[in-house]
Amino acid sequence: MGWLAPNRRPVVLAGSVAGGLVGVGIASAVAAAQTAGNWRLGLGLLAAVIGFLAVAAVIVTRLAAAPRLQRRGDQLLVRVGPACVEQLPLDAVECFFLGSQPLDHSGSPTAGDDPAFRVGTLVVRVAERAAKEHAGRWTARGPWAVWEDGYLVIDGRWTEPLTVETVRRVNGRLAQAKRSPVMEGCRSAASAGGCGV
């Protein structure tokens, strides 16, 4: 179950493109089956190309629809980009809080004093000891989230609306996950040298 949903607009857009391509591909295949000669070959090739594009659009839609935060056992999965996921041990995640990031006119992050825009972010605070221990491994950067100074910053343009209620809900799920039997078993194993952070 996802903790933080994606922005639905890109998902709907990608799904509409995929649906349109499927419809055109089917129409091309039907037309190819009902014609003869060179037209049949041309329409068959068109149907194949559109079919390939439709499959790609369906894959993009599926990736865009994936939750940005998700728990799997004792790990928190943070989707950094369409095909990149950062795995954090739940024990290492301390909390989530709202932040913001300055953007220039093109929508790229900027360090200027007078940014053109600001975008809301969800910041994942990681225990300092875990951040130091995994400093070389936790370096993922993507369009949806980046590591900055030991914090994982999730770009709000690619998530459901980031509100105080959203942060409360996500922090509540984190607290509940840390109290779950899987985590209790992990803490017991950690004292014996297993389930390390």
Note the pLDDT tens digit of each residue in 90-133. Answer: 999 999 999 887 776 666 666 666 666 778 899 999 988 877 67
| Residue-level pLDDT at 147 | 87
Structure tokens, 32: 């190819």
pTM: predicted TM-score of the whole model, two decimal places: 0.74
| Residue-level pLDDT at 197 | 37
pLDDT at 185 exceeding the cut of 60: no
Taking residues 33-37, report their average pLDDT.
82
Phi-psi region of 193 (alpha: psi -120 to 50; beta: other; left: phi over 0): left
CB atoms within 10 A of CB 15: 18
Taking residues 22-38, report their average pLDDT.
85
Higher-confidence residue: 54 or 149? 54
| Residue-level pLDDT at 121 | 92
pLDDT at 19 exceeding the cut of 60: yes
Residue 90 contacts residue 74 (beta carbons within 8 Å): yes
Q: Where are the domains of the chain?
A: 2-64, 69-191
CA distances from 196 to 16, 132, 135, 181, 187 (A): 44, 14, 15, 16, 9
Residue type, 48: A
pLDDT at 86 exceeding the cut of 60: yes
- Annotate 50-77 with b (16+ C-beta within 10 A) or e (fewer): bbebbeebbebbeebbbbbbbbeebbbb
pLDDT at 169 exceeding the cut of 70: yes
| Residue-level pLDDT at 125 | 92
Return the minimum-mean-pLDDT range out of 18-22, 37-41, 66-70, 77-81. 37-41
Alpha carbon distance, N-terminus to C-terminus of the chain: 23
What whole-number distance in Å separates Cα of residue 4 and Cα of residue 168? 11
pLDDT at 188 exceeding the cut of 80: no
pLDDT at 71 exceeding the cut of 60: yes
What's the DSSP call for residue 161?
-
pLDDT at 190 exceeding the cut of 60: no
Bridge partners (DSSP) listed for residue 95: 125
| Residue-level pLDDT at 183 | 53
Of 119, 81, 122, the residue nearest 103 (C-alpha): 119
Average pLDDT, the chain: 83
pLDDT at 154 exceeding the cut of 60: yes
